Structure 1
Amino acid sequence: MQAITELFRKNIRQYGMIIALVFITVLFQILTDGILLKPLNITNLILQNSYILVLAIGMVLVIITGHIDLSVGSVAAFIGALAGIMMIDMGMPTYLAVIISLAAGALIGAWQGYWIAYVKIPAFIVTLAGMLLFRGLTMIILGGQSIAPFPKSFQRISSGFIPDWFGGQNLHILTIALGIILSVLYIWQEVRERRTQIKYQFETPPFWIFAAQIIILVAIINIFTFVLATYNGLPNILVILFFLIAIYSFVMNRMIAGRHIYALGGNEKAAKLSGVKTKKVTFWVFVNMGALAALSGLIFAARLNSATPKAGINFELDAIAACFIGGASASGGIGTVIGAIIGGLVMGVMNNGMSLIGLGVDWQQGIKGLVLLLAVAFDIYNKSKTS
């Protein structure tokens, strides 16, 4: 019991949000009479929240550096409009339009990153200006009207599914196989990491706790993939999200670039004196945010099957909320990609569950605001206890 208490205390942000996610899921599963976790609804939950989760991955890096980006919703709308003009009006091939759109998003991020990193204008002001600027540009290039439809090949980004190579009839065999492969890779990685920790005499939890963590997570992975396999299998967007989470988690945990981002957010002056090129790090974090905002805009446009001036409204608020609920600190230096994803899922499950039980939008907004306030208060409380 003492080992469990110590483990929970050291990982209170991460475990607290996982427990909250499980509690909220179970609560709405009961309140919706089992509808929440039906295969069709789980698939819809993934599709409905994919673009927010993509934004949350980029936003958590921005927040870790001690900044904020209010423009991501407007940038997503602008890129969606740009993609619509290229594909629908100009007949450009899908792959070329996607590449140009992502490059345009990165350029927008570079534009904002320059003012923040090198001119030293606060990120709040620069991105607030960007929010207004790119919302206005979206309305100008679309003429205030939506354009549709997108090519089928583009729509599949958001609404398509991985084909079953094994030809399963009532069960998507490939999805189950991928779940098993992912479980094996996860076990191998955890065992390898534990052996390394023991080799260098790092503190490790008792073996039974280690084994229990693996068993629980492997069970969740395989139950999740089995539920998806009973419907249409893995959505394309889930595969994209998986690779994004894996890549960004690796960068933040195992690469020098990730260490520099944490150092910058923890103490900018100390990081600079330690040799971290703080301006360069800030600049590239915003370039990355611009590219992910562009990807989010493409995913949303593909799901909506139209480019509309109203796209992206409140996306920035949902992404920021996901990061803070997932354990990121408002003062910078603390946060994880996995935490942001968990925070995004908490928001997504709440939105979906409240809609299923017929709760009005007014109540939904109020409850989401309260959850965000409590998450930040929880962060401040933890800091006061450890200081």
Structure 2
Amino acid sequence: MDVRAYTMIGALVVIWLLFSLMNETFLTPRNLSNLFLQMSGTAVLAIGMVLVIVAGQIDLSVGSLVGLTGGVAAILNVWYDWNTVPVVIVTIALGAVVGLIQGWWIAYRAVPAFIVTLGGMLVYRGILLMVSGSKTIAPLSPAFRKIGQAYMGTGTGLLLAVIALLITVFVIFRKRASRIQYGFEVSSVEISIAKSVGYGVLILGFTFVMNQYQGIPVPFVTVILMAIIFTFISKNTVFGRQVYAIGGNAEASSLSGINIKRRLLLVFVLCNTLAAVSGIIFTARLNAATVTAGNMLELDAIAACVIGGTSLVGGAGTIPGAIIGALVMASLDNGMSIMNLDSYWQYIVKGLILVMAVWVDIYTRQKKKVS
């Protein structure tokens, strides 16, 4: 994570402290559990959006796609009595196909992503109205609801925490050994140990707090899993490095032999596949599919990315930063709801924070150019 991401962690802590002073229930295990449950769908969506924005593109259709894929999942589960596994497979495949279609128009027909996805936003919302008959589809099967409502048991959560901690320590020291091998400057062993201890406190502390209520929410486990996979893709694969290169300088990337069209196509396939995953999570959590599901969610995903340090001009951004951004947005929603503030304040505050985040990005880039 870059400096901006760490700054947002500090901002998140300040937000939590302010809301806890205003309402003592904010930092209770129950509310924090609900907070992580609520932010999971947006976080998954933001993970896919990071790759799109890093590549210098935009996707305005993901909110409507969340509604459509969630609606299709509910229709298959409720009206046609499909089991959970085939419903999930078909729904995720639908998201991938939509990404393939949109990516083809953008990459191979040179239609601006803004136009293609804006059209997709309208088309998918219309298809949802058509296939659902403008009806709310509920209730879902108990097995399907677990995707969005279940919690990991205390023992399972603790086991996952220990595994996560061991992997984190391994990655920290493996990265250090790799830098030593290639002759790069490295920090002292003491600093690496301090980092490991710090991450250990966070991981085990989080698990302890979640276990005080019902355990770690299953949707949040999905977020962590997606974050690990896509962080690896973005940082440790040729595809990931090429996506960053394309966003940084498309012309230079083309001259260096990168197949830009194919990379952009795959970026939209991945983004829309994650939109389908998000649609499943939202539908399962609400135990219903509605015609308004996912409305304006694309803006929350974009805001989460920008707040977490993703640059709208492309070439810079991280998955952990986007998750922090999603947590900031969810914390604001949750805290203001607990305080019984009118809903319009939520829009105003989130809008102002988004503008400030973009301004910080522009200011930082200008400062780098001057120096």
Structure-2 residue corresponding to 1:68: 58
Aligned Cα root-mean-square deviation (Å): 1.4
C-alpha deviation, 1:207, in angstroms: 4.5
Q: TM-score, normalised by structure 1?
A: 0.92
Give distance in 2, aligned partners of 1:205 and 1:370: 38
Structure-2 residue corresponding to 1:274: 256
Contact 1:87–1:93 under 8 Å retained in 2:
yes
- The code of the aligned residue for 1:203 comes to E
- The code of the aligned residue for 1:21 comes to L
Contact 1:173–1:229 under 8 Å retained in 2:
no
Contact 1:81–1:142 under 8 Å retained in 2:
yes
Task: Give 1:208-223 correspondences, 5 Å limit.
Answer: 208-223=190-205
Structure-2 residue corresponding to 1:32: 23
- The code of the aligned residue for 1:115 comes to W
Contact 2:173–2:192 under 8 Å retained in 1:
no
Give distance in 2, aligned partners of 1:28 and 1:212: 30
For residues 117-166 of structure 1, give each alpha carbon's deviation from its aligned partner in whole angstroms, at most 9, with x where no partner exists: 0111110000000000110111111111111111111000000122x4xx
Give distance in 2, aligned partners of 1:304 and 1:92: 19
Give distance in 2, aligned partners of 1:227 and 1:103: 36
- The code of the aligned residue for 2:276 comes to A
Q: Structure 1: give runs of 5+ residues left out of the alignment.
A: 1-9, 165-171
Give distance in 1, aligned partners of 2:136 and 2:82: 18
Contact 2:309–2:361 under 8 Å retained in 1:
yes
Give distance in 2, aligned partners of 1:101 and 1:240: 16
From 78, 87, 92, the equivalent of 2:77 is: 87
From 117, 123, 142, the equivalent of 1:133 is: 123
Q: Structure 2: give runs of 5+ residues left out of the alignment.
A: none
For residues 176-207 of structure 1, give each alpha carbon's deviation from its aligned partner in whole angstroms, at most 9, with x where no partner exists: 23323322221122122112212322233455
Structure-2 residue corresponding to 1:305: 287
Matched, 1:118 2:108: yes
Give distance in 2, aligned partners of 1:124 and 1:25: 35
- The code of the aligned residue for 1:362 comes to Y
Contact 2:245–2:253 under 8 Å retained in 1:
yes
Structure-1 residue corresponding to 2:141: 151
Structure-2 residue corresponding to 1:190: 172
C-alpha deviation, 1:173, in angstroms: 3.0
Structure-1 residue corresponding to 2:86: 96
Q: Please identify, of 304-313 and 11-20, the stretch whose mean Cα deviation from structure 2 is larger.
A: 11-20
Contact 2:136–2:291 under 8 Å retained in 1:
yes
Matched, 1:22 2:13: yes
C-alpha deviation, 1:314, in angstroms: 1.0
From 145, 154, 162, the equivalent of 1:180 is: 162
Q: Secondary structure at the match of 2:66?
A: helix
Matched, 1:57 2:39: no
From 278, 293, 309, the equivalent of 1:296 is: 278
Structure-2 residue corresponding to 1:338: 320
Give distance in 1, aligned partners of 2:192 and 2:11: 21
Contact 1:36–1:353 under 8 Å retained in 2:
yes
From 334, 337, 355, the equivalent of 1:373 is: 355
From 186, 193, 196, the equivalent of 1:204 is: 186
Q: Secondary structure at the match of 2:110?
A: coil
Matched, 1:264 2:254: no
C-alpha deviation, 1:351, in angstroms: 1.1
Give distance in 2, aligned partners of 1:11 and 1:223: 23
Give distance in 2, aligned partners of 1:220 and 1:30: 22
Give distance in 2, aligned partners of 1:357 and 1:107: 42
Give distance in 1, aligned partners of 2:163 and 2:279: 31
Give distance in 1, aligned partners of 2:314 and 2:146: 37
For residues 292-313 of structure 1, give each alpha carbon's deviation from its aligned partner in whole angstroms, at most 9, with x where no partner exists: 1111111111111111101001
Give distance in 1, aligned partners of 2:218 and 2:276: 17
Contact 2:309–2:321 under 8 Å retained in 1:
yes
Give distance in 1, aligned partners of 2:232 and 2:324: 17
Give distance in 2, aligned partners of 1:225 and 1:39: 10
Q: Secondary structure at the match of 2:134?
A: coil
Structure-1 residue corresponding to 2:337: 355
Contact 2:41–2:219 under 8 Å retained in 1:
no
C-alpha deviation, 1:363, in angstroms: 1.1
